[in-house]
Amino acid sequence: MTDEATAFAPGHVTAFFAPYPDDDPAVAGSRGAGVTLSDGVEVTVRPAAGADDPTVLLDGEAVEVAAVEGVLDALAPHVGGTGTGADGDADARVAAVEIRTDLPVGAGFGVSGGAALGTALAANDAFDLARSENELVRVAHAAEVAAGTGLGDVVAQFRGGLPIRLEPGAPGHGAFDGLPARPRVEYVTFGELSTAEVLGGDLDPVRAAGEAALTRLRRTPSLPELLAAAREFADDAGLLVPEVAEAIEAAEAEGSPASMAMLGRTAFALGTGLSDAGYDATACAVHPTGASLRPVETE
């Protein structure tokens, strides 16, 4: 029995959303829909013997990820703190967190949400915390909301597939449906877009456009309708940026429904439209499941 654990969370591209902030971060969230990706975030947590404070590495570099720190704080004194463990060993309960991802960071793929969720799942296992999945998702969602880096990624990343967020918030508040489809997805990224900046601005037009898109998708829950609703949302919410708009038009000209990742300078498309149009696009699949622990090798 090792006390190290690894969890995987799929990436999540939001197609459209209607934000609902709240003072309670478990109640805050967004309604909307998106695509979870086979490309994602892997997180390993182990006790950091001898360390005074938790360490967080992203692809080998020391980083500060507010949502991950929030998760460790919420699980303290069992994980993040320097309390005395059951065995009387003062530093056996400090976590060393290693995050690995091939996804672009800050470009609308839910890397911070996936890192928070993976940390919660892995820490629970590594430190034998006996929390349920709903409790761990709640901790990660609340940490991500408090950090201002996302409103709906964590719960979508836990669910997997093509999640439709019917009601905002953590388990116990939120509610889901999903589209039963498993298309090939391509994406191309032109750089970062600050989620915190958009979420700090006027949310009324975004919310109105997001609700209109959700109503449309619930009337016809199909893949073409998801992309059409997403495209309309991007225009109506005023969030489309020029280089992404250009890539979307190019993919559509090749017959691929496409839209913008909310929030990132990223275009995503179904099928092969982006690469057919000459973009250096990355291809992946819809992730069939949500985030989970990596099984321990048994044989």
Does 294 interact with its own copies (rule: CB under 8 A)? yes
Span of 66-74, 173-181, 228-236, 238-246 interacting with its own copies by CB under 8 A: 173-181
Tell me phi and psi for residue 63, to 5 degrees: -140, 165
Give the residue among 214, 283, 221, 210 at the shortest CA–CA distance from 251: 283
Q: Whole-number minimum distance, CB 295 to its own copies, in Å? A: 4
Distance CA 118, CA 106 (A): 17
Does 288 interact with its own copies (rule: CB under 8 A)? yes
- Are the CB atoms for 258 and 278 separated by under 8 Å? no
- Are the CB atoms for 115 and 57 separated by under 8 Å? no
List the one residue from 106, 118, 161, 168 that touches its own copies (CB under 8 A).
161
Span of 40-48, 96-104, 160-168, 273-281 interacting with its own copies by CB under 8 A: 160-168
Does 276 interact with its own copies (rule: CB under 8 A)? no
Neighbours of 200 (CB within 10 A): 10
Does 207 interact with its own copies (rule: CB under 8 A)? no
Q: Whole-number minimum distance, CB 138 to its own copies, in Å? A: 10
List the one residue from 173, 207, 216, 218 that touches its own copies (CB under 8 A).
218
- Are the CB atoms for 265 and 107 separated by under 8 Å? yes
Q: Whole-number minimum distance, CB 216 to its own copies, in Å? A: 13
Q: What is the DSSP letter of 242?
A: H
Pairing of strands 175-179, 162-167: antiparallel
In three-state secondary structure terms, 96 is strand
User: Which residue, 26 or 239, is less far from its own copies as judged by CB?
Assistant: 26
List the one residue from 59, 84, 182, 191 that touches its own copies (CB under 8 A).
182
Does 89 interact with its own copies (rule: CB under 8 A)? no
Q: Whole-number minimum distance, CB 101 to its own copies, in Å? A: 19
Does 60 interact with its own copies (rule: CB under 8 A)? no
Q: Is the dihedral of CA 223, 224, 227, 232 positive or negative?
A: negative
In DSSP notation, 179-231 reads E----EEEEEE-----HHHHHTS--HHHHHHHHHHHHHHHHS-SHHHHHHHHH
Q: Whole-number minimum distance, CB 261 to its own copies, in Å? A: 20
Does 131 interact with its own copies (rule: CB under 8 A)? yes
Does 1 interact with its own copies (rule: CB under 8 A)? no
Interaction site with its own copies (CB under 8 A): 121, 124-125, 130-136, 160-161, 164, 171, 176-184, 218, 220-222, 225, 272, 283, 285-286, 288-290, 292-296, 298
